[in-house]
């Protein structure tokens, strides 16, 4: 795993963007926690993340490139405006998928036609916007274990199976709040 300081990554974003387009599994900071991600349209990369986390069935979410991407690719209703207005922010909105080619859905969510989407209140959201495609967002940990608050505490197996990590020091946040917009009324799920 190659570790890149945040400043270097931001300064040379276009070089790293090429790596992400070509197929990289990477660790990155957000407004809540460190995440592990990849191009959400690439099944082989998504499977690598499942292997890293030792999690083969749980649905994963994505960081969307923009609110427009959300409206174009997911089933969007006017009553969702109040939730979309909370983005960027610490929320993951669960919505039905309208365009099944927007992500490799059977790998991202093996259970159905829904997708969790985030736009963090963090510079990583601008990076994903520049990439123009969604990236997987799942916490930096082995499934069921504590999340890593810094790259100093990353499990050896994660280090070996990850290509690159963006270091932003210690992030001591909480997971995003899940809002299931497929339910009426929407169900709010707080995670600890």
Are 30 and 122 in contact by the 8 Å Cβ rule? The answer is: yes
- DSSP for the chain, written as a single string: -EEEEHHHHHHTHHHHHHHHHHH--EEEE-SSSEEEE-BTT-HHHHHHHHHHHT-SSS--EEE-S-HHHHHHHB---GGGHHHHTT-SSSEEEEEEBS-TTTTTHHHH-TTSSEEEEE--SSHHHHHHHHHTS-EEEEESSSTTSPPPSSGGG--HHHHHH-SEEEE-S-----PPEEEETTSSSPEEE---
Q: Which domains does the chain have, with CATH numbers?
A: 2-189 (3.90.870.10)
pLDDT confidence of residue 192: 58
Burial degree of 158 (CB within 10 A; 0-12, 13-18, 19+): buried
Q: What is the pLDDT of residues 178-190, one digit of tens each?
A: 999 999 999 998 7
The C-alpha atoms of residue 142 and residue 50 are separated, in whole angstroms, by 9
pLDDT confidence of residue 108: 92
* Percent of the chain whose predicted confidence (pLDDT) is above 90: 73
**21, 40, 79, 128, 156 from 44: Cα distances, Å:** 14, 10, 36, 20, 21
| Cα Rg, the chain, nearest whole Å | 15
- For the segment 62-90, the average pLDDT, to the nearest whole number, is 96
Burial string for 123-140 (b: 16+ CB within 10 Å, else e) reads bbbebbeebebbbbbbbb
pLDDT confidence of residue 16: 84
Q: What is the pLDDT of residues 95-144, one digit of tens each?
A: 999 998 899 998 999 888 999 999 999 999 999 999 999 999 999 998 88
């Amino acid at each position: 795993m190659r570790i890149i300081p945040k400043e270097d990554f931001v300064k040379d974003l276009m070089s790293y963007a090429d790596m992400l387009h070509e197929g990289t599994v990477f660790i990155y900071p957000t407004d809540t926690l460190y995440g592990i991600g990849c191009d959400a349209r690439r099944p082989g990369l998504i499977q690598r993340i499942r292997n890293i986390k030792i999690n083969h069935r749980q649905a994963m979410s994505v960081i969307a490139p923009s609110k427009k991407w959300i409206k174009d690719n997911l089933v969007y209703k006017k009553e969702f405006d109040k939730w979309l207005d909370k983005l960027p922010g610490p929320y993951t909105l669960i919505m039905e998928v309208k365009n099944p080619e927007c992500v490799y859905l059977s790998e991202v969510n093996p259970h159905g036609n829904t997708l969790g989407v985030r736009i963090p209140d963090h510079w990583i959201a601008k990076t994903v916007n520049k990439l123009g495609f969604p990236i997987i967002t799942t916490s930096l940990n082995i499934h069921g274990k504590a999340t890593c608050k810094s790259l100093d505490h990353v499990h050896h197996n994660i280090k070996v199976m990850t290509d690159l990590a963006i270091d932003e020091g210690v992030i001591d946040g909480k997971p995003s709040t899940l809002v299931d917009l497929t339910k009426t009324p929407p169900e709010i799920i707080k995670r600890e």
